[in-house]
Structure 1
Amino acid sequence: MAIEDGSGIPFDAWRLVGGLEVALDVDVLFGAYPDRDGPPGAPEQVLRLLDEHRIRSAAVASLRAALFDVRSGNDELVARADPGVVPVGAVDLRDPIGAARELERLAAGGVRAVRLFPDEQGVEAGFPSVGHVARRAARLGLVVLTGGDVRRLWRPFAGLGASVVFLDTHFYHLGDFLVAAADEPGFHTSTRLLNSPDALELAAAELGADRLLYGSRAPHYEPLVPLLRLATSGLKPEEIAAVAGGNAERLLRRPQS
């Protein structure tokens, strides 16, 4: 990507990214939002977009499962044989009994992670359904990827010993995440919205870079933005490599102890 920087000199983002590659992106979706303008999210198109941005594999959830039909959407995703796809189940928080059963089914089928869509499903963090699903997921050893405001969504997972990745942590809310995560070693955050000049550095200094995971929200967000921020951060090379996939590999691919 090359754009004018205001001086007439092209700004080459890829030159700044350098040789950085992402081993595992924690925030990718197949499908489209019916009420939003955006790409259709066909799997082949999404995988091509990831490849163009040097993202070698991705934790993928199905918008069909999240917004239309949980079971068929999850089954369609799990049945795919893409080597670069780590399937992430979805549940409907508006149906806590059905959601708990779906978690059991997913875990029995070898799925390692589940994604929650509280905003899209009109569910608030304080609803009993969220706590119910959080407890069941923790009991099953599932990693939880959740959207929503971290200032509210942290609470249902507190004290459970759960592994949680907050996908929508904004740099305005980073302080709240840091103080919540200080007492919860299983709390992690995507770097997608941590685009202030010092957000990644502050989070790494306070908690360690092992709590940060690259997420793009492809194809519904520009993958280059968090990639550029990570590449130009003040993190050490080994920390950048961890954020760019090593931490996600640890959570989503390796057996939990």
Structure 2
Amino acid sequence: MTAFSAERLIGDLAVTLDLDVLIGAYPDRDGPPGTPATVLGTLAEHRVAAGAVASLRAALFDTASGNDEVLALAAEDARVVPVGTVDLRDPIGAAAEIDRLAAAPVRAIRLFPDEQNVEAGFPSVRHVARRAAAHGLAVLTGGDVRRFWRPFSGIGATVVFLDTHFYHLGDFLVAAADEPGFHTSTRLLNSPNALELVASHLGADRMVFGSRTPHAETAVPLLRLATGGLSPDAVAAVAGGTARRLLGLGAAS
């Protein structure tokens, strides 16, 4: 019997932009330290050319200094696309930080509602959603898509739901049918036909590759994308083409 080989199945699949990359560590759970060098090394090992990087320091401790860390890293390394983070527990401060980030080379903000114990119905989420949309920033948000779709509806927002689980895919499909700015990460779409369902109902350009490196296995979404039934053009869109368009980066060189 031939041994299972994820690398063989993934083959020569290359990702031009991973939209779910973190630096830093969670202080209350086991896991890697998430240093920039190790994170970027992991991406390179898996043929991921660039990552949209957000800071756990910004999400958990100090928003401004964590965001500045990501901006400095992006200035030093072209593989880093900086993603700003705001604190949903402080909607006034979050709006001010969005204003600051919009004036910097930031094209997306990331929300951490679970880590910040914020629910979708809190006024702060809608406030932040409106401010980001007004600046034309894409929003990358965690949380259960069955609840977190609502504060982004009807405002023309560009949103990537990072935690869409294949158990909840039907809810994403019906919500996104009325919201052309709604997109989903592929990280948890690991059922046999999840990617194909999104492609057939909405189009493959409503999916983006996300791995949550280094706090999840980078190879898992790669394996699903490489072995699915999508066309080569659709795979290229998921593997970075759509993410680069959403962030206004143009085609990869």
Task: Identify the TM-score tier after normalising by the shorter chain.
Answer: over 0.9
1:28 to 14, 18, 21: 21
State how far apart, in whole Å, the 1-side matches of 2:45 and 2:143 are. 28
| CA drift at 1:13 | 1.1
Residue from 203, 216, 240 that aligns with 1:245: 240
Name the CA distance, whole Å, in 2 between partners of 1:243 and 1:109.
27
Matched, 1:233 2:228: yes
Partner of 1:60: 53
Note the C-alpha offset of 1:225.
0.4
* AA aligned opposite 1:56: A
The answer to whether the aligner puts 1:86 opposite 2:103 as a matched pair is no
- Determine the C-alpha separation between the residues in 1 that align with 2:126 and 2:209: 26
Partner of 1:111 in structure 2?
106
1:217 to 199, 212, 215: 212
Following the alignment from structure 1 to structure 2, what is the Cα–Cα distance between the partners of residues 254 and 72? Answer: 25
Q: Percent identity, aligned pairs only?
A: 73
Matched, 1:137 2:132: yes
Determine the structure 1 residue equivalent to 2:7.
14
Q: CA deviation at 1:18?
A: 1.2
Query: Is 1:41 equivalent to 2:25 in the alignment?
Result: no
Indicate whether 1:126 and 2:121 are aligned: yes
Question: Which string of whole-angstrom CA distances, capped at 9 and with x for unpartnered residues, describes residues 183-214 of structure 1?
Answer: 00000000000000000000000000000000
> Quick check: 2:82–2:105 contact (8 Å CA) kept in 1?
no
Q: How far did residue 12 of structure 1 move?
A: 1.0
Give the ranges of 4+ consecutive aligned residues of structure 1 lying more than 6 Å apart after TM superposition: none
Aligned counterparts of 1:174 and 1:65: Cα–Cα separation in 2: 29
Q: Which amino acid aligns with 2:141?
A: T
Across the aligned residues of Structure 1 and Structure 2, the Cα RMSD in angstroms comes to: 0.8
Q: Distance in 2 between matches of 1:105 and 1:12?
A: 46
- The Cα of 1:68 is off from its aligned counterpart by 0.4
In the alignment, structure 1 residue 146 sits paired with structure 2 residue 108: no
The code of the aligned residue for 1:189 comes to T
**For structure 2, which runs of at least 5 residues remain unmatched after alignment?**
none
Residue 110 of structure 1: how far off its partner (Å): 2.5
Query: 1:199, 1:185 → 2: CA distance?
Result: 19
| Structure-to-structure mapping, 1:148-227, within 5 angstroms | 148-227=143-222
Q: 2:249 aligned with 1:254, yes or no?
A: yes
Provide the C-alpha distance between the structure 2 equivalents of 1:10 and 1:184, rounded to a whole number of angstroms: 44
| Partner Cα separation in structure 2 for residue 224 and residue 199 of structure 1 | 17
Paired amino acid for 1:243: V
Provide the C-alpha distance between the structure 2 equivalents of 1:144 and 1:209, rounded to a whole number of angstroms. 19
Aligned length: 248
Q: How far apart, in 2, do the equivalents of 1:210 and 1:139 lie?
A: 23
SS in 2 for 1:156: helix
1:136 positional shift: 0.6
Q: Which amino acid in 1 is paired with 2:30?
A: D
Of residues 25, 43, 48 in structure 2, which corresponds to 1:50?
A: 43
- Structure 1 unpaired stretches of 5+: 1-7
Shift in Å, 1:82: 1.0
Give the whole-Å Cα distance in 2 for the aligned partners of 1:60 and 1:234. Answer: 29
Match of 1:26, SS? Answer: strand
